[in-house]
C-alpha cells in the first residue's frame, strides 16, 4: 500500500460529526500527504525502511472467523478488548480507576499527541480507536489491567493508549496484540504520564501471524521519584518495529526497559529505545535479548542521553543475541551520549550461538544434548520475563513466551 492509497484510506475514515476531531485528522492527513515518510533522523530507521514496510501490506477481502470478546476475558485481570479497533467489552468498574474513549478524551482536551516518527501524521489522521486510563492519586490497582487488540480484517488499525498515573498511584498494564492470520498493519502510539511517586509497569506483547506488520511508539514521562518499567516482547510477526522514548524529568525518576524478540524464517524485529536523563539523581536500566533462527533479522538500537544538569546519574545497558542459525542476523547499536561529569554508566553487547561447554555441562549430568539446548534457550529468554514484578502478569506472559519458544524453534535441527 503506497502513500496515496494510505491517504485515501485515512480520508474515508474521517467522520465529520465531530468538527474538532475531524479538523485535527484533516490537518494531519495534509501533513502526511506533504511529508510522506520523512524522518528527523534517517539513522533511526537504518534497518527498517518505512516505505517498504507499508508496500509490504497486501490487503484482501478475506476476513477471519467471527470471534467473541468474552473468550478473551480473564477473571485475574481488568480486561478491555478491542476487535478490529472497536471496543467490544464493557469497561471495568474499579474504584480509583477510570477509562475514557480516545474520542471523548480528545473532546475534553485531556491529552496531546506529538510527531516523533515517520508514521505519526498518518496515525493522527486515523485517531479514534483506543483508550485513556487514569489511576487516581494514592491508589494501587491490585489486579493488572489487560488491553487486548485482535485483528480479523485486512487493512490498517491505529490504536492510541493514554496512561495517566496520578501521584503515588501504582498499576501493572499488559497490552496484547493478536490476529487471525490476516494481512494487516497495526500502527499504534502510547503516551504514559507518571507523576511524583507513581509506579507503572507496562508490558507490550506482539504475537502476530506471518503476514502481520506492527509499528508502535511509546512515549513515557516520569516525574520526581516515579518509576516506569517497560517490557517489549516481539514474539512473532512478519515485521515488528518498536520505538520507546523515556523522559526522566526530575530527581529520583527511574526507568527500566526490557526487550525480548524471537524471530524465525524471514521475520524482522527492530527495537529502538531512547532514554533521556534530564535531571540529576535519575536512574535507568536496560536489557535487550534476542533469539534468532532461519533467515530472520533482529535489530536493537539503544541510546542513553545524559544532559549537563543530570549529575549523579546511574545507568546501564546490555544487549545479548542468541543465534540458532548461520543465516540469522543480529544488529546491535548501544549508544551513550554523556554531557555530565559525575555519572556511572555502562553498556555492552554480545552475539553468539549456544555454548558447547554449557551443553556439555548438562550432558555430563545425564541431560541429552537436545534437551540441554532447549533449557539453555528458555533460560536465556525467560530472564526478561522474570523482570515483570506483578505475579499475575508475569505468570500469564511466561506461559505465552514458553509456548512461543516451544513452537517457534527447532533446536538442534540441521540448518
Q: What is the pTM of this model?
A: 0.93
Please state at what angle helix 3-12 crosses helix 19-35, rounded to 10 degrees: 170
Contacts of 366 (CB under 8 A, 6+ apart): none
Q: How many residues does the chain have?
A: 415
Residues 6 or more apart in contact with residue 139 via CB below 8 angstroms: 95, 96, 97, 166, 169, 170
Which residue shows C-alpha cell 490476529? 179
pLDDT tens track of the chain, all 415 residues? 888 889 998 898 888 778 899 999 999 999 999 998 887 777 889 999 888 878 877 776 667 678 889 988 999 999 999 999 999 999 999 999 999 999 999 999 999 999 989 999 999 999 999 999 999 999 999 999 999 999 988 889 999 999 999 999 999 999 999 988 778 899 999 999 999 999 999 999 999 888 889 999 999 999 999 999 999 999 999 999 999 999 999 999 999 999 999 999 999 999 999 999 999 999 999 999 999 999 999 999 999 999 999 999 999 999 999 998 899 999 999 999 999 999 999 988 998 887 777 776 677 878 777 777 777 888 888 999 999 999 999 999 999 999 898 888 865 444 4
**Phi–psi pair at 316, nearest 5 degrees:** -135, 150
Q: What's the pLDDT at 412?
A: 46
pLDDT for 374: 75
* The pLDDT value given to residue 375: 78
Reduce the DSSP state of residue 329 to 3 states and report it.
Answer: strand
Who contacts 333 (Cβ-Cβ below 8 Å, separation ≥6)? 299, 300, 301, 302
CA dihedral angle for residue 169, residue 178, residue 320, residue 144, rounded to 10 degrees? 20
Q: Which residues contact 120 (CB under 8 A, 6 or more apart)?
A: 28, 113, 114, 189, 217
Three-state DSSP state, 203:
strand
- pLDDT number for residue 70: 92
Contact 298, 331 (CB under 8 A): yes
49, HSE (Cβ side, Cα atoms, 13 Å): 5
pLDDT at 64: 67
Amino acid at each position: 500500500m503506497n502513500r496515496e492509497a494510505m491517504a485515501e484510506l485515512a480520508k474515508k475514515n474521517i467522520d465529520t460529526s465531530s468538527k474538532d476531531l475531524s479538523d485535527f485528522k484533516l490537518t494531519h492527513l495534509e501533513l502526511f500527504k506533504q511529508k510522506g515518510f520523512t524522518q528527523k533522523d534517517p539513522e533511526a530507521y537504518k534497518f527498517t525502511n518505512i516505505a517498504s514496510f507499508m508496500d509490504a501490506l497486501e490487503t484482501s477481502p478475506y476476513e477471519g472467523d467471527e470471534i467473541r470478546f468474552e473468550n478473551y476475558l480473564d477473571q485475574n485481570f481488568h480486561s478491555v478488548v478491542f476487535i478490529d479497533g472497536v471496543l467490544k467489552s464493557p469497561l471495568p468498574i474499579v474504584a480509583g480507576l477510570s477509562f475514557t474513549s480516545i474520542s471523548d478524551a480528545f473532546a475534553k482536551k485531556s491529552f496531546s499527541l506529538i510527531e516523533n516518527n515517520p508514521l505519526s501524521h498518518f496515525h493522527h489522521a486515523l485517531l479514534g480507536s483506543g483508550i485513556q486510563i487514569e489511576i487516581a492519586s494514592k491508589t494501587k490497582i491490585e489486579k493488572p489491567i489487560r488491553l487486548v487488540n485482535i485483528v480479523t480484517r485486512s487493512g490498517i488499525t491505529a490504536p492510541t493508549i493514554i496512561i495517566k498515573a496520578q501521584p503515588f498511584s501504582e498499576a501493572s498494564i499488559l497490552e496484547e496484540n493478536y490476529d487471525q492470520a490476516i494481512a494487516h498493519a497495526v500502527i499504534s502510539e502510547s503516551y504514559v504520564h507518571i507523576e511524583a511517586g507513581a509506579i507503572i509497569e507496562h508490558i507490550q506483547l506482539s504475537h502476530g501471524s506471518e503476514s502481520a506488520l506492527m509499528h508502535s511508539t511509546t512515549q513515557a514521562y516520569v516525574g520526581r521519584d516515579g518509576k516506569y518499567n517497560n517490557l517489549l516482547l516481539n514474539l512473532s510477526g512478519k515485521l515488528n518495529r518498536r520505538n520507546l522514548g523515556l523522559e526522566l524529568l526530575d530527581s529520583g525518576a527511574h526507568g527500566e526497559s526490557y526487550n525480548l524478540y524471537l524471530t524465525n524464517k524471514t521475520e524482522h524485529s527492530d527495537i529502538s529505545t531512547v532514554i533521556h536523563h534530564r535531571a540529576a539523581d535519575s536512574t535507568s536500566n536496560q536489557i535487550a535479548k534476542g533469539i534468532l533462527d532461519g533467515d530472520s533479522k533482529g535489530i536493537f538500537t539503544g541510546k542513553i542521553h545524559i544532559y549537563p544538569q543530570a549529575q549523579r546519574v546511574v545507568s546501564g545497558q546490555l544487549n545479548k543475541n542468541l543465534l540458532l542459525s548461520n543465516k540469522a542476523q543480529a544488529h546491535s547499536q548501544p549508544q551513550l551520549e554523556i554531557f555530565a561529569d559525575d555519572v556511572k554508566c555502562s553498556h555492552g553487547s554480545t552475539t553468539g550461538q549456544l555454548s558447547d561447554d554449557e551443553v556439555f555441562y548438562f550432558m555430563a549430568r545425564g541431560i541429552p544434548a537436545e534437551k540441554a539446548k532447549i533449557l539453555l534457550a528458555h533460560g536465556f529468554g525467560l530472564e526478561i520475563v522474570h523482570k515483570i514484578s506483578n505475579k499475575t502478569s508475569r505468570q500469564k506472559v511466561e506461559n505465552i513466551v514458553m509456548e512461543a519458544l516451544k513452537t517457534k524453534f527447532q533446536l538442534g535441527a540441521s540448518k
